[in-house]
Amino acid sequence: MDSTVHILIAEAMVVCLLVLLAHSLRHRAGLAERESHTRRLAEHELRETHQVLEGILGAIPARVFWKDRNLVLLGCNRTFAHDAGFSDPKEVIGKDDFQMAWRDQAELYRSDDRAVMESGRARLLIEEPQTTPAGDTLWLLTSKVPLRDAGGEICGVVGTYIDITERKRAEAEQHAMETQLHAKQKLALIGTMARGMAHEINNPIMGAMNYAQLIQDMAGDNTTLAEFAGEIMAETRRVSLMTHSLLRFTENRETESRTSGRLAQVVDAVLAPSAEVAGQRGIDLSCTISSHLPPIVCRPRQIGEAVSALLMNAVEAWGEGVHGDGRKISVSAEEPITDGGIQSAKDATSPVPERILRLTVDDNGPGMSEETLNRAFDPFFSTKDRTRHSGLGLWICRSIVEQHGGEIVLSSAAGNGTCVRMDLPIESVRNAHNGGRKVEKEA
């Protein structure tokens, strides 16, 4: 029987339990109000009802609680008390949600309670978070019904919930797997397209480029013709370079093995060309990356290509003919203190909590408008002059990073520069989640 069937059965049990519990509590209240000549019989029945109810509450896996109209707890079962950090259900009586470990969600729960009492209608199978005494976050499937007295008047609320954290985690893992598969399929399509472009387009492009060169050589004093020939050559070179960039990217992906390496070495290997161009344009490019940072498992050439693209994007942000003082690009890396890395360890639905290394490329250039920022990761999108747009686009950079289990985040505003953050998993964590085995090669 799969987990979905188990959950459906549990949900049905929860609804039935609520009806039974509300009826039992109401019956107990009625018994307590009988006239004195039947009080002894009523007390006997009340004890029996209490014993049956306690037996049910102690046996079921669901958490059960009931509150008065002021949302003060009147009782609960042992599993609810344990969730609240108490050993005995009696310790919970008289307290409210603000006195529990889940005080951050107290107003959310109380709002639901009030809605049930005011409407007189049940609220069933609500998904909501809960903070545990240890500070972790669970996911609950909660149902609540109004609690009525012997006269049928609403006097409180009865609730029950089951822990669906594992289900949420499984759903998150499934979503992550589907996302990764989709990314791999897109990259495979890029590879097929790149190989086709290299084979079918490069030969005619080279022919067009050669003929344009001949026209330019034969133009003589005809400057207009020479200019047109130069434009043709520039455009054909641009297409050729784009094709080769795509082909190089797919070849790296298919042939390069993952190895353990230092981020500082990967960045150093691609820093010089960008630094040279930056220096020619009067841009101060600084790099501060400690060699003592933990290693990452990566395809060095791929990550190097992505870093190089980010650096050249920053260098070219001012434009080729723009020079001036105060222009800066800083490259840095750190292991940030987070709630567990890319996916928070406190988020119980996260499939793989991870420590990360964070590479940041920050410039004080002109920045991007909101429209440009929203399109920055679109395939082949660029704000550069067409003759200079020949490297990897941000969309391929993001594909590379995501294939390594990381993420890339872009923040920018017009007139306030641009910051790109690249997060990559640290080796020890990634290996631990691969059963201690290093991933050497992927198909």
- pLDDT tens figures, 340-376: 444 433 343 444 446 889 999 999 988 888 888 888 8
In the chain, the N- to C-terminal Cα span, in Å, equals: 34
Q: Which residue has the tokens 């020949």?
A: 390
pLDDT in tens, 148-187: 887 888 999 989 898 898 888 888 888 888 887 887 777 6
- Residue 15 clears pLDDT 60, i.e. is over it: no
Instruction: Give the pLDDT confidence of 250-308 residue by residue, as tens digits.
Output: 665 555 677 888 899 999 988 888 888 888 888 999 999 988 898 888 888 889 888 98
Residues 105-134 pLDDT 10s:
899 999 999 999 999 998 888 898 888 888
Looking at every residue in the chain, the average pLDDT score rounds to 77
Within 13 A of 51's CA, how many CA atoms are on the CB side?
6
Neighbours of 33 (CB within 10 A): 11
| DSSP per position, 337-393 | --SSSSS-TTBTT-SS---EEEEEEEE-S----HHHHHHTTSTT---S-GGG--S--
pTM of this prediction exceeds 0.85: no
Q: How many CB atoms within 10 Å of residue 318?
A: 19
At residue 94, what are phi and psi to the nearest 5 degrees? Answer: 90, -5
Q: What are phi and psi of 439, to 5 degrees?
A: -80, 115
What percentage of the chain carries pLDDT values higher than 90?
A: 18
Task: Tokens for 395, please give them.
Answer: 């969309």
Task: Give 398-427 as a 3 state SS string.
Answer: HHHHHHCCCEEEEEECCCCCEEEEEEEEEH
**Residue 363: its H or E element:** strand 356-363
209 vs 214: CA distance, rounded Å: 9
Strand segments (E) across 132-283: 137-148, 154-163, 259-261
Please name the helix (run of DSSP H) or strand (run of DSSP E) that holds residue 68, with its range, or none: strand 63-68
Mean pLDDT of 199-223: 85
